[in-house]
């Protein structure tokens, strides 16, 4: 198993990118300043280009090999997230009903999503507002969720 890590600057701040055996496995938001990676890695370059396309046009469809580590339930939730079209949202309850589960379980799977942006957990919202994002209900992560939704044409007051 070959793992590689890269750092990428984005409109959302620094992203830490993890790959494993030629597949994307993690995207993490970082607060600390780090040097952006210069790389000859084809997967990293492909993802860098695709993220740049997405940040210019939110309708860009990601086409990069991914490898997901998670429970069977988490993976079902992540697949369901990928079906939500750009510019639309679903509530935790709507996804839970479709998967015969609970909103809390869906929220926990969203929180465990290893590939935010590519697997659009930001499109899952509360029945009465934004809900959480990456384990937070206020602060920087909610600003990121709001930015992503607005970028895709969905308006929310955070």
pLDDT per residue as tens digits for the range 85-107 = 999 999 999 999 999 999 999 99
Are 45 and 39 within 8 A, CB to CB?
yes
In this model, does residue 132 exceed pLDDT 60? yes
**pLDDT, averaged across the chain:** 90
Catalytic site residue 121?
A: yes
Residue 28 banded pLDDT, cuts 50, 70, 90: very high
Residue 114: per-residue pLDDT: 97
Tokens for 87, please give them.
Answer: 């510019």
Return the CATH number of 72-151, one of 3.40.50.410, 1.10.10.10, 3.90.180.10, 3.40.50.150.
1.10.10.10
> 10 Å Cβ neighbour count for 155?
7
Q: Which of 121, 124, 125, 142 is catalytic?
A: 121
- Read off the pTM: 0.90
C-beta contacts of 101-104 below 8 A and 24+ residues apart = 101/73
Q: What is the 3-state secondary structure (H, E, C) of 51-110?
A: HHHHHHCCCCCCCCCECCCCCHHHHHHHHHHHCCCCCCCEEHHHHHHHCCCCHHHHHHHH
All structural domains of the chain with their residue ranges: 3-56, 72-151
End-to-end CA distance of the chain: 41
Please check whether residue 21 is in contact with residue 67, taking contact to mean a CB–CB distance below 8 angstroms: yes
pLDDT in tens, 111-129: 999 999 999 999 999 998 8
């Amino acid at each position: 198993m070959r793992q590689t890590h890269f750092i990428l600057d984005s409109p959302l701040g620094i992203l830490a990118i993890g790959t494993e055996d030629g597949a994307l496995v993690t995207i993490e938001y970082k607060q600390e300043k780090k040097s952006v990676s210069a790389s000859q890695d084809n997967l990293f370059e492909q993802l860098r280009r695709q993220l740049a396309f997405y940040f210019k046009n939110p309708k860009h469809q990601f086409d990069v090999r991914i490898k997901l580590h998670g429970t069977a339930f988490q993976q079902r939730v992540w697949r369901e997230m990928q079906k939500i079209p750009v510019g639309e949202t679903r509530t935790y309850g709507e996804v839970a009903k479709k998967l015969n589960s609970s909103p809390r379980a869906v929220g926990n799977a969203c929180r465990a999503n290893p590939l935010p942006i590519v697997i659009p957990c930001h499109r899952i919202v509360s029945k009465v507002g934004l809900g959480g994002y990456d384990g937070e209900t206020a602060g920087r992560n909610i600003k990121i969720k709001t930015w992503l939704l607005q970028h895709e044409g969905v308006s929310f007051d955070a």
